[in-house]
Amino acid sequence: MCIFCKIINHEIPCHQVYEDDKVLAFLDINPLNPGHTLVVPKKHYSDLEEISDEDLIDLILVVKKVGLLIKEKLGFAGYNVSQNNGEVAGQEVPHLHFHVIPRREGDGLSPWPRRGYKAGEAEEVIKKLES
Question: Domain limits at 80?
Answer: 3-130
> What pLDDT is stored for residue 114 in this prediction?
84
For the question of residue 99 being annotated catalytic, the response is no
> What pLDDT is stored for residue 112 in this prediction?
78
41 to each of 26, 32, 109, how far by Cα in Å?
Answer: 12, 22, 27
> What pLDDT is stored for residue 119 in this prediction?
95
HEC sequence for 42-108: CCCCCCCCCCCHHHHHHHHHHHHHHHHHHHHHHCCCEEEEECCCCHHHCCCCCCCCEEEEEECCCCC
CATH number at residue 21: 3.30.428.10
Structural domains in the chain (count) = 1
> What pLDDT is stored for residue 93 in this prediction?
95
Q: How far apart are CA 129 and CA 131, in angstroms?
A: 6
Provide block-wise average pLDDT over 10 residues at a time, the chain (131 residues): 96 98 98 97 97 98 98 96 94 97 93 88 95 82
> What pLDDT is stored for residue 37 in this prediction?
98
Catalytic residue of the set 15, 36, 95, 97: 97
